[in-house]
Amino acid sequence: MAETVLAALFPGQGSQRVGMTKDLYAGSEAARRVLDDAERALPGLLASMWEGPAATLQLTANQQPALVAAGAAAYAAWLEAGGPEARFAAGHSLGEFTALVAAGTLGLADAVRLVHRRGEAMQHAVPEGVGAMAAIVRLDGDHVERVCAETEGVVEVANRNSPQQTVISGEADAVARASARLSQEGGRAIALKVSAPFHCSLMQSAADALAPLVAAVPLAPPRMGVVCNVTADLLPDAESARDLLVRQVTAPVRWVESLERLGDLGATRFVEFGSGTVLGGLVARTLTGADVTAVDDVRSLHAALATRTAS
């Protein structure tokens, strides 16, 4: 039987939900320790995760630390329950911070505080209503990128999520013009409900604000291979994470290439840890026949472990 090589995936914004991790907190001592540590680092975090309201949890500065805490807690519960350590990890946008926590490179408390500040900076980088984002489906990413380059104003590829789903970001008028043209050329444009135009050059002030904060935290050598958003390749060493996390704020999330890289590295099973199943769906649409599951509560944890035992 071929060896199972696990890749741990950690989601980004939009995967949050009120009540996330409450079940894990009650059912896993390891998850409880992680969540208690996150609460100490950012008091009030668990209340926003468990009680909401949804509008409060949705705020960028709140959902980013919530998702880091949720992903780290779910992975800790997985290990406590006998799940194998991941050989590789990757996170979508802010999920890369969680991947670095799982790899032992970045401390949980530092990660929670960093993404809280990251979220604040991203929220304030562009006045409300100035920017926009849209998901483009039914067209390949190169086509979308070419249209963005030919459109007047700031509109750039923000996420290459799957071979037929690319997110664009920038000035609202420019995003609208690019979306209209892409729709005429066979795509479908879906306006996203976001508070700011993430992963484009309009976020430069947020990157500048994050840089000194990332520079000040201690980092340790990764215990597993971490595939990074900016390069779609393995983190070469711990210190390189500082520059990559800052560049990530304005650079596109190269998720398709990251998944393909994990496949090339030998990953055979992909488990999404934290909240939701968005990344698992992107894996299924990118890597044919991939073994995909998600762990975000006790039930899904047991189901994922049972699947592993059966295989």
Question: Who contacts 29 (Cβ-Cβ below 8 Å, separation ≥6)?
Answer: 80
CB of 162 closer than 8 Å to CB of 286: yes
92 is catalytic: no
**Active-site residue among 15, 169, 199, 300?**
199
Q: 201: which DSSP letter?
A: G
**Active-site residue among 15, 28, 48, 93?**
93
What is the sign, positive or negative, of the torsion defined by CA atoms of 151, 91, 140, 185?
negative
CA atoms within 13 A on the CB side of 300: 19
Determine the 3-state secondary structure of 78 from DSSP: helix
CB of 206 closer than 8 Å to CB of 122: yes
Which candidate, 82, 81, 112, 76, places its Cα nearest to that of 94?
A: 112
Helix then strand count (H, E) for the chain reads 14, 9
- Please give the structure tokens belonging to residue 7: 């890749």
93 is catalytic: yes
Catalytic residues: 93, 199
